[in-house]
Amino acid sequence: MADALRLILFDVDGTLIDSAGLISAAMAEAFSAAGRRAPTPIETRTIIGLSLPIAVARLDPDLDPPALDAVTAAYKAAFVRLRATGDEATATPLFPGARAALERGDASGALMGVATGKARRGLEHILDGHDLRGFFVTTQTADDAPSKPHPGMVLNALRATGVDGARAAVVGDTSYDMAMARAGGAAAIGVAWGCHHADALIDAGAQAIIESFEALDDALERLGVGA
């Protein structure tokens, strides 16, 4: 029965893969190319997870529309160029325990998906580069719904899988993930190794904070999304 199914939605940047350094470098290059002050890595970490145009505007609210478009385009070009300097495992490595957690979820019969601020093209590159495609039955991107924290990605995934929100969870590293999960009726599990501090995750609605992927199964069980 559909109500027996469970769905685990994973954020990508800062949750499954360690991409903050690459994103920060590309963002600094993009702003510099446009003659704007380059954001610091700490500033850039605060916007990771948002859809790109919203992230750029958050970093520099004074950008007019043409400048916003220019920085956004420069970021995409810089990101692709910087990523191409090494293989995927080097440029955006999986966090420790990520693959094992996905394997456990798959073995348990859970449905798994992705909810990411990346564009679909960027997500496809990650899925292929890390051989992750087979784990996910639904992939929601910035091309499919409004930017987090809007619940559109969660709601799309629930519709696509037929899972009730009470049997779904979002695993993410930012306050945007936690707010998205709660607004979409799913459980919210924050990870302690990503871009936002645990206090910010809790303030945004996180119901559990895990220090490693090894703790994910217990957190899912406590929140009623276990096997």
Residue positions annotated with a catalytic role: 11, 13
Q: Counting Cβ atoms within 10 Å, is residue 41 exposed (0-12), middle (13-18) or buried (19+)?
A: middle
Is the Cα dihedral 23, 116, 53, 201 positive or negative? negative
- Measured CA distances, 59 to 8, 17, 221 (Å): 30, 22, 38
Q: Which helix (H) or strand (E) holds 124?
A: helix 120-129
- Smallest CA-to-CA distance from 33 within 83, 58, 67 is with 67
The first and second tokens of residue 72, run together, are 């956004």
Closest CA to 126 of 8, 44, 13, 7: 13
Residue with tokens 């685990």: 8
Matching residue, tokens 């890390």? 130
Centre a 10 Å sphere on the Cβ of residue 186 and count the other Cβ atoms it contains.
Answer: 28
